Amino acid sequence: MAMNHTTTCIDQWITPLRPVLPDLTDRHLARLAGLEAGLTEILAATPASGARASVRLLAVRRRLAERVRTDSQHSSDAAETKAMNDTLAGFVCGFHDLDLRDAVGPGHGRMILRHGTETVRRYWRARLAGGDLVGIAASERHGGSRLQEITARATVRPRGGWWINGEKCWVSRLTESAAFVVFFKNPHNKITAAVVEADTPGLERGPIVPSGLAGWDWGTLALTDVHVSEHDLLGGDGGGLTVFREHFAAFRPLVAATALGTAAGAHTQVATTLTARTATGLLPRLRDTTLVTLGRTHAEINAALLSSLAAARLTASTSPHADLWSREVKAHAVDTAHRALQELPLLVGAGGFRADSTLAKARADIGGLLYADGIHDSLLRSAGRTLTTPPAAIPPPRTNTNTGHPAAA
């Protein structure tokens, strides 16, 4: 599953950025190096043969969670510094395999930790720390970017609470998730979010085999008279849009960095292969076009990574520009990674297109991210609309005082 090259992400890609990341201290770099070393060790000890990919990935996540729990260091970093380290941790995971985007951190469980009641946050904080996953059930057949148009709906339950009925599509972590954050319209037609445990009666999964991003199970989630109570709501009754927007302002830079990490891993693999071929005389020299491609993709990956870090920090500081940057950065970074993975495999020839090639897998996986977490035309169109809206009409961000979301590394 992992990229077939020596572990070099920290040295080759992150260390050179230190002069422009003054709060990336030796301690933070050591933690990232520890994550990479642990990841490499666990992947080697958890062979892919004989295990379904998602079963193996969930085992990797839980093994990494055990290592984090036994780490005696307790960070008191500022929110912006934590966001930077979470984003770089995503880059490290993506460097080895895009499927590892859920290897560390709360993922979509962040919505529970930010917007749940104190009892719910405490319960899920422990489960997420143990390696449990939370999925998101927002998209429907009309697409995922138009949340106001969802048709999943709640009706009043005579004995208290609500029943939810509807269907969600393109749900990742379909069978591995311990719970889902479900978005629906309440009886008053307001978008609402609730956490629904995976074994709740009335949930029915319909797996679909994707062409990329196949590491985690994916498909449809049908809800038939699924019971939720006020206790299960996130952000309160009718607070779903706020939960969704706040979450994705933070989540999209992580997606961006993980995708760029996958492109960086492919870049390192290709550069290493070409270096070996010239050293052994298999290639007398590298063509100028090859060198140009290596130089250009290296520059583009680094520039997009710095933009991702900036977007993560803007969200952590509750900047009014955070949502704009998160939309732009997700689209730009994944487009950058996709473009790199269209070009880099060509440099190593037919071997980069074998079915068992990590380069071919990375290329297919990145293709899936062109649609996951927001179609790029929609993200960039909404960004353009923001940029042409008078500043006075843009509401300030809502600050959430809930705390306790775990660091990703």
pLDDT digits (tens, 9 = 90+) for 325-363: 999 999 999 999 999 999 999 999 988 788 778 899 899
pLDDT at 322 exceeding the cut of 90: yes
User: Tokens for 84?
Assistant: 């930077």
The 8-class DSSP code of residue 390 comes to: -
Q: What angle do CA 74, 13, 369 make, to 5 degrees?
A: 90
pLDDT at 185 exceeding the cut of 90: yes
CB 152 within 8 A of CB 138: no
pLDDT at 74 exceeding the cut of 60: no
* One-letter amino acid of 76: S
In this predicted structure, what is the pLDDT of residue 6? Answer: 47
CB 178 within 8 A of CB 134: yes
Band of pLDDT at residue 96, cut at 50, 70 and 90:
very high
Q: What angle do CA 18, 345, 297 make, to 5 degrees?
A: 35
In this predicted structure, what is the pLDDT of residue 1? Answer: 41
Would the pTM count as exceeding 0.85?
yes
Of 257, 138, 141, which is closest to residue 191 (Cα–Cα)?
138
CA distance 83 to 62: 22
In this predicted structure, what is the pLDDT of residue 56? Answer: 78
Band of pLDDT at residue 52, cut at 50, 70 and 90:
low
The 8-class DSSP code of residue 353 comes to: G
In this predicted structure, what is the pLDDT of residue 145? Answer: 59
CA distance 373 to 379: 10
CA distance 232 to 230: 5
pLDDT at 91 exceeding the cut of 60: yes
For the chain, how many residues are written? Answer: 409
Query: 346-356 burial string, b = 16+ CB within 10 Å, else e?
Result: ebbeeebeeee
The mean pLDDT value of the chain amounts to 87
pLDDT at 371 exceeding the cut of 80: no
User: Tokens for 300?
Assistant: 């583009």
